[in-house]
Homo-oligomer: A and B are copies of this chain.
Amino acid sequence: MDKIPILRLGAYLLVSIQVDLYDRLALTLEADLVQMVNKTGAKGVLIDISAVSIVDSFMGRIIGNIASMSKILDAETVVVGMQPAVAITLIELGLPLKGVHTALDMEKGMNLLKTMIGDSSGEEDQETDPDYDDTIA
């Protein structure tokens, strides 16, 4: 496993993190992602971490970095699927993921992105659950 695939879906990029983000893999992901944002003109990045059960300060920082990098390339980042234990650990580590938007699941994250970007062309049937968590800030 030498890189995490980045899936393009319309104006959005999806990343599903399923493995430990050790140093090289994390840096590759950062580089690939900003390159993809630049190449595709993506307006939003969705990062699914539902398969991540253990998080450390390095990974927390990487997620923050990706959000900051995307932001200056004019793309919003939403982290979805965080397990409760991961949220607990992040706060206990003193990493409140400032500037990173979060949502409970993929669908809510996509709706949040659409709202943020102002894209009203909702193709999927609307779930009508506007109670997703907004920015932790």
A contact residues vs B (CB 8 Å cutoff): 1, 3-5, 7-11, 14, 16, 18-19, 48, 50-51, 81, 105-107, 110, 123-125
- The one of B1, B105, B123 in contact with A10, judged by C-beta atoms closer than 8 angstroms, is B123
Q: How many angstroms from the CA of A125 to the CA of B19 in the assembled complex? A: 32
Copy number in the complex reads 2
Residues of B within 8 A of A18 (CB): 1, 4-5, 16, 18-19
Query: Main SS of the interface on chain A?
Result: loop
Q: Residue on B with the closest CB to A50?
A: B5
Q: Residue on B with the closest CB to A9?
A: B106
Q: Residue on B with the closest CB to A20?
A: B1
Residues of B within 8 A of A51 (CB): 1, 3-5
